[in-house]
Chains A and B, each alone.
Chain A
Amino acid sequence: MADGEANGMISGGAEGGGTVSAQAAEGALAYLTEMSPDLRGAAILDSAGAVLAATSEPSRWREDAAALLDVSDRAGEEPVRQVHVATEQGEVFALRHAGLTALVVSDRFALASLMFFDMRSVLRELAKKGDDPGDAA
């Protein structure tokens, strides 16, 4: 964990994320889906918790993601950076980076480190695009 994104992500504004277009987020989500064969569904949220891209039902993703992140933040003394919940039905991953949040639901026994690596690299690229107005269009 490095690169200066220590403080509150989802509620704390887009630190370094700039404005990310829905189109760029859709592309990032497609890339993430392609890279992760275990993935069942995913969403990318902006700093306000709005869904930039989702594999289905954006409104449900927004509500349920907000609930998960809210519970996660309340569980500790500081905002969480990553969440990993493994249940019998599947696994849920959430990662905050540069004001953006990625959520993934995968099959059981997905490799957590790889999943987080993929999510982080996708958000990093997306945040870079947000910084560059030429790419964000």
Chain B
Amino acid sequence: MPPKPHRILLDRVSAYADEAAAYVRRRRVSRRPFARLYYSEGRASDHAADSVAGGELFVAAGRLIEVAGRAGRESR
């Protein structure tokens, strides 16, 4: 017996909703701020925003973004 048409529609909508939820989840992860330092011989270290070094890095980076942003606005 074939499924009822509204069941097919519901399945399709819920599949799209699952896809959208997964996309949002992935995007949220990829949007998470990070601070990464690279050293000689390819070594790298991550610093969380709530660590002392991480906090200082975000503040310093924020100042540079402000300078560059202001220049961008002035040139427009």
Contact = CB atoms under 8 A, between A and B. Distances in A.
Interface of A: 1, 6, 40-42, 55-57, 60-61, 64-65, 67-68, 71-72, 74-76, 78-90, 92, 103, 105, 108-109
Given A1-B42, A67-B60, 7 more contacts: A41-B68, A41-B72, A71-B53, A71-B56, A76-B37, A85-B58, A92-B61
Interface of B: 30-31, 33-42, 45, 47, 53, 56-58, 60-65, 67-72, 74
Given A68-B61, A75-B47, A75-B57, A40 B38 contact: no
Nearest to A75: B53
A88 B33 CA distance: 6
A57 B71 contact: yes
Contacts of A56: 67-68, 70-71, 74
Given A67-B63, A72-B57, A86 B34 contact: yes
16 contacts: A1-B40, A6-B40, A40-B65, A41-B71, A56-B70, A64-B63, A67-B63, A71-B60, A74-B53, A76-B39, A83-B36, A84-B34, A85-B61, A87-B58, A88-B31, A90-B69
The DSSP consensus for interface residues of chain B is helix
Contacts of B65: 40, 87, 89-90, 92, 105
A74 to B, nearest CB: 7
B60 A57 contact: no
Contacts of B37: 72, 75-76, 80, 82-84
Contacts of A85: 33-36, 57-58, 60-61
Contacts of A109: 30
A64 B64 contact: yes
B17 to A, nearest CB: 25
